[in-house]
Chains A and B, each alone.
Chain A
């Protein structure tokens, strides 16, 4: 299978997630792809985790020891293995809540999806689909309004604050439903985070996120991340919830055309509710990202068969 090579120095020089640490430790070497390049991530218990680029790709999927080329930079952050195809910065973005002693964090699954990383990120940032795609979970018809919220750029990160969505309570009694408040943060082009008031402490936030691995221009792996206050909670419940939410998004994500994210704002039709994604596409344009996106809309897109999945 021939892949377009990456040629995107912006993305090549960033850290990207490629596996969950427990998966590498417990299930042996994992073969995966990053920006079109085949990699192996290995690290039995007690050893350092190593990420190597595969120079030739064995056709038998069981073979994970191919002709290994160079070793790539590795770091473990937030329970995941991160690597880079170039020269990444010294630091990855931080999540202060992650270091608080009374938190637990969870690797709640890494799911492949047939679309570009940018599309996955935008979907995570979107509220308007809650009553349609996540009916009964995050929203319910006919409560579809997305009220105005604020988006700002701070220290090179996008923050969306004051986001609210109405979730009606099941009770028959006539009082207002519950309005859930969200704050979104993008500290990395493919790592959106969501802050939701913790049910245990209204002054603090639960952090939910996805770290999206751009496997190819039209394929991604979404690593689910949770960092919550409640360590006695039935963690299976929350993990399952996240998996269900992502599963519900899949048929939408896999049926968006084109798969690569169009950056020209006139390519699609944003509305006021899409404020965060408008800024996100502008941010990707300004950063100079070219892999997995469509920059110049006036040029014809030469699609590949993958686009027609």
Chain B
């Protein structure tokens, strides 16, 4: 049985995935969804949202993401990473929130998947030229071992065209799960291949390929003919087989394999190749990075990455990707006049074909999607995170506008992406500071309780926007901004020390760091899961000191007792905590 788990099995025909359908099936009792994104990437995932176990087959495929029907969680094409949790619009989902992806590939008109890392795709010596005809797949309520047994004796009426005769088609012994019939006696060489998909212990799907495919005018007749053949086979098999309703289904629907307790490494670096470098505006160059040997992590609009340069510097750049664009990252780099070697290096020294190290995405500037209207103010290179947001909003039902302030038309970057925004994009060219402020004021108007603002650009512009908005009655919670400087954002939460009782080591937890991170960086690999303070996996005992609890896992009296702490979110009220590790 174990060996069969490593094989490829067909799970859907490509034609089953049309029109953003979410196809539902099973393999050895594991429930799967198969869906195609608008960029043609075919995804095979476990049919279960890992939040509360809802079947994703009840959700929506919007062409770039799968949206769960229950709470609207969104999962990215390719990576299955969660990009948005509507209940907490301000929080980017933790990297560990990622649905299970199965190995898959597309061949011969089918999507093939495997439960474990598989070997070679089964191929047949009977392949002919051109694409085979994919027949109608038929589910049969019998186990696949039984069906194999019946297939050994069953005679199909096989012919290629309505006029050709069935003359002694031979059953060619083949791999487990493949049955091939070849007609070798007539002068027409053709073959019928049957491939069995073990759905669960009581159901098997019979897929078929006819090769070579008949002429277009005979296609429908062939499909009908084999459908009839398979249906007759099914009637025979189902009426002869007793189905034991109490038969257990093995490893079906385990709540979670291995509990998703993820041990993250303390490095966050990804090797990429510069596949494209192009001038996109007068002083801005675009870069496209492709990963080497790994998948790029899921990102959300507003995220940025660290780029490690050969000259030793690290610089942060926002991703301009739209939703579902998972196979590469694109950024824009403006040549700063006072460049200390970052943007200058990228502009002059980094070439197409070069390799770099980048980090995964960080998101301190996430897009909230709970406002009916979003106003985006971009100043110069500040357009980059807002462009990612605009592309996400453009696919939604929410109203938005991107106001792009630039020195001249030649300073406008990424025109191809801007064009997709249609009349949601408004450019403001060559305005001085006062005119900018007046323009912003007239765009904002007084606060309408429906809108929110995101702005990114030079500090003076951001201050002007914030002051103007405040003056017009906008609350600060509705006005979000990000500065583009080379400094890290300073987190004003407290710094404190942790003393590890068992090893005798004392460590500092600085502003912006969590206890969990600091432990890991220092080699104490604690398991975690949600990293939101909800699941309790990263809990540690507290022997001394006063924790500052930020979690929702421990209840009020446990918080008061103070002898446990959830290390992914909680901090300290005292200057030191003594931890029982």
* Residues of A near any B CB (own CB < 8 A): 2, 122, 127-129, 131-133, 141-146, 150-153, 174-177, 251-252, 255-258, 262, 264-275, 278-279, 282, 294, 297-298, 300-305, 307-308
Contact = CB atoms under 8 A, between A and B. Distances in A.
24 contacts: A122-B52, A132-B72, A142-B369, A142-B372, A144-B72, A144-B87, A144-B89, A145-B89, A175-B449, A176-B449, A177-B449, A251-B69, A252-B54, A265-B534, A265-B536, A267-B259, A270-B530, A272-B88, A273-B87, A273-B88, A282-B555, A303-B252, A304-B248, A308-B252
Contact of B534 (A144, A145, A278): A278
Contacts of A272: 87-88, 532-534, 552
A269 B371 contact: no
Given A145-B89, A275-B552, A270 B371 contact: no
A146 B372 CA distance: 17
A258 B553 CA distance: 22
Given A129-B71, A143-B370, A307-B252, A151 B87 contact: no
A255 B370 contact: no
Contacts of A141: 72, 397
A133 B552 CA distance: 25
A265 B537 contact: yes
B257 to A, nearest CB: 10
B534 A274 contact: yes
Which are the 8 A-B pairs with shortest beta-carbon distances? A144-B86, A128-B87, A273-B87, A267-B255, A270-B534, A255-B55, A266-B259, A146-B87
B253 interface: yes
B69 A132 contact: yes
B87 A174 contact: no
A278 B255 contact: no
A297 B537 CA distance: 13
Nearest to B370: A142
Interface string B251-279: 11111100111000000000000000000
* Majority SS at the chain A contact face: loop
A131 B50 CA distance: 20
B256 to A, nearest CB: 5
Contact of B71 (A128, A298, A303): A128
A255 B33 CA distance: 14
A265 B529 CA distance: 10
Given A271-B530, A294-B255, A266 B537 contact: yes
Interface string B141-159: 0000000000000000000
A202 B530 CA distance: 39
A2 B246 CA distance: 8
B532 to A, nearest CB: 6
A182 to B, nearest CB: 15
A132 B246 contact: no
A264 B80 CA distance: 23
B51 to A, nearest CB: 5
A133 B69 contact: yes
Contacts of A271: 51, 85, 87-88, 530, 532, 534
A152 B534 contact: no
Interface in B1-51: 29, 31, 47-48, 50-51
A127, A128, A275 — most chain B CB neighbours (10 Å): A128
Interface string B113-151: 000000000000000000000000000000000000000
Given A133-B70, A255-B58, A258-B53, A269 B449 contact: no
B255 A301 contact: yes
B553 A265 contact: yes
B479 interface: no
B246 A305 contact: yes
Given A133-B69, A252-B69, A267-B259, 8 more contacts: A142-B86, A266-B259, A268-B52, A269-B530, A270-B51, A294-B255, A305-B246, A307-B252
B478 interface: no
Contact of B245 (A143, A150, A269, A305): A305
Interface string B517-535: 0000000000001101111
B346 to A, nearest CB: 37
Given A141-B397, A267-B256, A305 B530 contact: no
Contacts of B246: 2, 304-305
Nearest to B569: A272
Interface string B443-483: 00000111000000000000000000000000000000000
B464 to A, nearest CB: 25
B426 interface: no
A174 B448 contact: yes
B255 A303 contact: no
Contacts of A282: 555
A208 to B, nearest CB: 21
A256 B52 CA distance: 7
A279 B530 CA distance: 16
A151 B553 CA distance: 10
B253 A301 contact: yes
B97 interface: yes
Nearest to B246: A2
Contacts of B369: 142, 144
B556 interface: yes
B20 to A, nearest CB: 18
B200 interface: yes
Contact of A308 (B58, B200, B532): B200
B556 to A, nearest CB: 5
A242 B530 CA distance: 34
Interface string B334-375: 000000000000000000000000000000000001111000
Nearest to B254: A301
Nearest to B536: A265
